[in-house]
Structure formats: structure tokens, C-alpha cells
Amino acid sequence: MTEEPVILDANVEPSSRMLGKWMSAAMVVGSMVGSGIYLLPTTLAPFGSNLVIAFLLTGFGTMCLAFALARLAARIPGGPFAYVDQAFGEKTAFVTLWCYTFSQVTGVSGVAVAVAGALGHVWPSVVSGPPLIGVALCSIFALLIVNLRGTRSAGALQIVTVVIKLVPLLAVMALVLGRFGSGSGVEPLAAVPLSFSGVIAAAALTLFSLTGFEGAAMTARVTRDSTTTVPRATILGTGFTAVVYLLATVAVLLLLPSAVAAKSGAPFADAISPLLGATAGIFVALIAAVSAFGTANSLLLMAAETARTMGQAGDLPPVFARANGRGAPAGAIWICSILSALLVLASSSKNFVNVYVFITLVSTVLALVLYIVCAAAALKLRAGGKWTAIVAIGVVYSIAMFIGSGVEVLLWGAAVALAGLPIRAISRWLNGSSRAAAESPASPLG
């Protein structure tokens, strides 16, 4: 099946706004590599060699899900809306993207606060209160401007931030190689015996660190040659990130005694300090801020693209489908940015912290909806071919992720998902739309 190019403005050259193969790959890596990696050595230090097996298990499960998305992208242009639409119908496709968009909007606000939190290590005055809120809001405003300039602008920013955020990860690996090359000793991993319970506990801590592999698929509709580019970017980006996470985490634990790493608030800074001295803390803090900013950029881009898809299908008000002269989904970008900013403002409430943490957990569960539904779609459409067993493992893996989230969080996630149905009904009434999925701009059947 060949893909018709999606031209949002006849006066805009497609190559000026479409994501290329490197930008598509950067969406995957940039979405996955966030601020969480900088604390993984701390949380995993007590598990010793169990963490290696846990990484291999979670990495394999994530790769199975990435494989399912890649196979769908190779067969069906248009992104996840089209995949789910063809497998389960337009209503399921809407609920899936509704949940995912809500998840990304919440994520933008949370990561924007993380930008301010990271800069607080350099400028203590912005660590809390109005200065922290101000920095977070400025981060969202900067992302708004970048994304309004078009998909290519957002993709270029993603490449730059991916390169920067990988620096401390690669630095600790280089330090370990230097120690091996010079014959210097390294620290042993914690002396903890291998056990099933140890592996499972470590896997639970790494479970969500590899999410974000859907970045290329979510922007498939604005990617050149998406049926070729997206599958490659998804598989290669996911595999690359999983390997880097494992090597960087182990490298830190080979440079720091496990007892020290387990109590460190900045394990990468402590591991790099022999090379950079007193500047290590500032260096890693700035890198963490850039990392969070890059992650927020990919979250906003994906939220806007999914909202635009639903707007074009008539499932959200027409403003969500409105594009500017550069082909960017301006209406969706503005609304998603405003919602994220409102969540940041809400975080200034003294009583908000616990509620916000819970909303973040619900947001993560909503993202899991995309994973399980797309994996199930790949299974139903037999997109896996002779590798169907891998897709089936992805379905089982995503179900396990749901179960591990807890009943209360799942119930709240279900409530958010159901809340989208009346919004869809009202939007269709306002649009005078009762179009079938085949008439949807996102559908491969049109």
C-alpha cells in the first residue's frame, strides 16, 4: 500500500515541514531518554547483578511492543489512529488517542516542572515557589513557539537535545573504559544473589523508563516515507536507548560503590566528578534540564498531532484540526500548551503535590492504553507475519504493565477514558459529523 502525502498547505513545500529519518529516530530516543535515567543507578544499586537481567527482560518486552508498532507502520500509513481504526473501529481509535493525548499533556506540565527543578541545583532561588512556576511556564512558552514554527523545527530541536542529553551517559561509559584500559580497578556490583524476586523488583523500577518508543509512530502522518522511516526509527531508536540505559547504569555502579550510589541524589555527577571536579554537579544539572526540555518538546508535538488527528476526524472541535501557514497544528498546539500551563499553575497549591503525583500515575496508565491496543491491533491484523509470537508477547507484557499499576489508578484511568465519549459526541454534533471511519482523514481506507 502506497501512502499519499498529507499536504496541509499547498504553498508549503512538504520537505520543509516533514520529519526525516534522523528526526523520526530522534523522536523515539528523545521521548525515551528523560530525566528518569539520572536516578536509575540510585534505585537499582541495591539489586546487584539482578538489575542486568531485569533490564534484559524489560528491554525485550518493550522491543516486542515496538516491533508491533513497527509492523503496523510498515503496512498502514497514518499512525496509531489508522491502525486501531482498521482493527477495532473508529470509536476505539478515538478512546485510544484521547487517553494518549491526555497523558502527553499531563506529561508536558510535569516535565516542565522538572526543567525548573533541575535548574534549581544551579540557581537555588528557582527550586520552589513562584520562581519554579515561572521557569516551568517559560519552558512551555518556548516549546509553544518552537512547535508553531512547524514539525521540522520541533524535530531539529529534538536532534539537538538528544545529542546533548546523551553526553553524561556516554561520559560514564568512557570513564569505565578508561579504567579498564589503564588497569585500574572498578567497583563491584552489590553482593546480592540472583533471585526471581530480585529480578522482578528491579524490573518494576525499570518498567516505565523505556516508555516513549511510540514517538515515531505518533508523528507518522508528518514523516516522509512513513511506512519505511517509522518502522526503522522505532526499532533502532528503542534498541539503542535500551542498550545505552543498561550500559550507563552499570557504568555508574562500576565507578561508585553501590552503598554510595544507593544514597546519591545525583549518581552521574558523583561518578563524573573525578573528571570534572566541582563543576560536575552544575554540568549534570544543566544536562538534566536540557534532557527534560527535549522530552517536553516531543510530548507536546505528539499531543498536538494526536489531537489534530481527532479534530480532522470530527471527534474534537474543528479548532484542533486548524493548521498555520507552516503546516503545524496551531489550534492543537495552543490548546495543549494552555492545558499544560494550567496544570503547572495548579501545582503551586500547597495541597497539590500528592494529587499531582497521582495524576501522573494515571497519565502513565493512559499511555499504556495505546501500547496494549496497538499490540492487539497488530495481532488481529496479523501484521506480525511469521513473527506473530513476538507481537503476542507484547500484548502479554502490556497487560502485565496494567496489572502492576494498581486497581485505584486503573479505575481513574477508566474514568478519564470514558469522559472522552461525551466530548466526542458533542464534537460530532457541533461538526454535523457522522462520518464513518473510512471518511476520516487519518484512515488508510479513504
Residue 185 region, left (φ>0) first, then alpha (ψ -120 to 50), else beta?
beta
Q: How many CB atoms lie within 10 A of CB 75?
A: 18
Q: Report the pLDDT value the prediction gives residue 75, as an integer from 0 to 100.
A: 80
Whether the predicted pLDDT of 225 surpasses 80: no
* Assigned C-alpha cell, 341: 500551563
For range 427-440, the mean pLDDT: 59
* Assigned C-alpha cell, 431: 461538526
What is the distance between the alpha carbons of residues 66 and 60, in angstroms, rounded to a whole number? 10
* Assigned C-alpha cell, 85: 481504526
Q: Tens digits of per-residue pLDDT, 247-258?
A: 888 888 888 888
What is the distance between the alpha carbons of residues 120 and 57, in angstroms, rounded to a whole number? 35
Distance of CA 213 to the CA centre of its chain: 6
Can you give the three-state secondary structure of 283-333, one letter per residue?
Answer: HHHHHHHHHHHHHHHHHHHHHHHHHHHHHHCCCCCHHHHCCCCCCCCHHHH
What is the distance between the alpha carbons of residues 82 and 228, in angstroms, rounded to a whole number? 16
For range 15-40, the mean pLDDT: 56
Instruction: Provide the residue ranges of all domains of the chain, joining segments of one domain with +.
Output: 14-439
For range 422-440, the mean pLDDT: 67
For range 120-143, the mean pLDDT: 79
Whether the predicted pLDDT of 224 surpasses 70: no
Quickly state the pLDDT bin for 32 (edges 50, 70, 90).
low
For the chain, report the end-to-end CA distance as a whole number of angstroms. Answer: 12
Q: Report the pLDDT value the prediction gives residue 338, as an integer from 0 to 100.
A: 93
Quickly state the pLDDT bin for 164 (edges 50, 70, 90).
confident
Quickly state the pLDDT bin for 2 (edges 50, 70, 90).
very low
Backbone angles phi, psi at 186, to 5 degrees: -120, 165
Find the Cα–Cα–Cα–Cα dihedral 223, 224, 228, 232, rounded to 10°: -50
Whether the predicted pLDDT of 118 surpasses 50: yes
Residue the block writes with cell 513476538: 390
Whether the predicted pLDDT of 141 surpasses 80: yes
Q: Report the pLDDT value the prediction gives residue 334, as an integer from 0 to 100.
A: 92
Task: Answer for the pair 230, 250: CB distance below 8 angstroms, yes or no.
Answer: no
* Assigned C-alpha cell, 409: 489508578
CA-to-CA separations, 133 to 108, 127, 444, in angstroms, rounded: 13, 9, 43
For range 357-375, the mean pLDDT: 76
The answer to which of 102-111, 192-201, 338-347, 399-408 has the lowest mean pLDDT is 399-408
| Size of the chain, expressed as the number of residues it contains | 446
Q: What is the pTM of this model?
A: 0.70
Task: Answer for the pair 218, 83: CB distance below 8 angstroms, yes or no.
Answer: no
Give domain 14-439's CATH architecture.
Up-down Bundle (1.20)
Task: Answer for the pair 119, 285: CB distance below 8 angstroms, yes or no.
Answer: yes
For range 355-361, the mean pLDDT: 58
Whether the predicted pLDDT of 438 surpasses 60: no
Task: Answer for the pair 299, 101: CB distance below 8 angstroms, yes or no.
Answer: no
Whether the predicted pLDDT of 8 surpasses 60: no
Whether the predicted pLDDT of 417 surpasses 50: yes
Can you give the three-state secondary structure of the chain, one letter per residue?
Answer: CCCCCCCCCCCCCHHHCCECHHHHHHHHHHHHCCHHHHHHHHHHHHHCCHHHHHHHHHHHHHHHHHHHHHHHHHHCCCCHHHHHHHHHCHHHHHHHHHHHHHHHHHHHHHHHHHHHHHHCCCCHHHCCHHHHHHHHHHHHHHHHHHHHCCHHHHHHHHHHHHHHHCHHHHHHHHHHHHHHHHCCCCCCCCCCCCCHHHHHHHHHHHCCCCCCCCHHHHCHHHECCHHHHHHHHHHHHHHHHHHHHHHHHHHHHHHCCHHHHCCCCCHHHHHHHHHHHHHHHHHHHHHHHHHHHHHHHHHHHHHHHHHHHHHHCCCCCHHHHCCCCCCCCHHHHHHHHHHHHHHHHHCCCCCHHHHHHHHHHHHHHHHHHHHHHHHHHHHHCCCCHHHHHHHHHHHHHHHHHHHCCCHHHHHHHHHHHHHHHHHHHHHHHHHCCCCCHHHCCCCCCC
For range 54-66, the mean pLDDT: 84
The answer to which of 24-28, 152-156, 173-177 has the lowest mean pLDDT is 24-28
Q: Tens digits of per-residue pLDDT, 68-89?
A: 887 887 788 777 888 888 889 8
- pLDDT exceeding 90 applies to what percent of the chain? 1
The answer to which of 105-114, 207-216, 264-273 has the lowest mean pLDDT is 207-216
For range 299-313, the mean pLDDT: 84
Q: Report the pLDDT value the prediction gives residue 155, as an integer from 0 to 100.
A: 59
The answer to which of 1-10, 329-338, 371-380 has the lowest mean pLDDT is 1-10
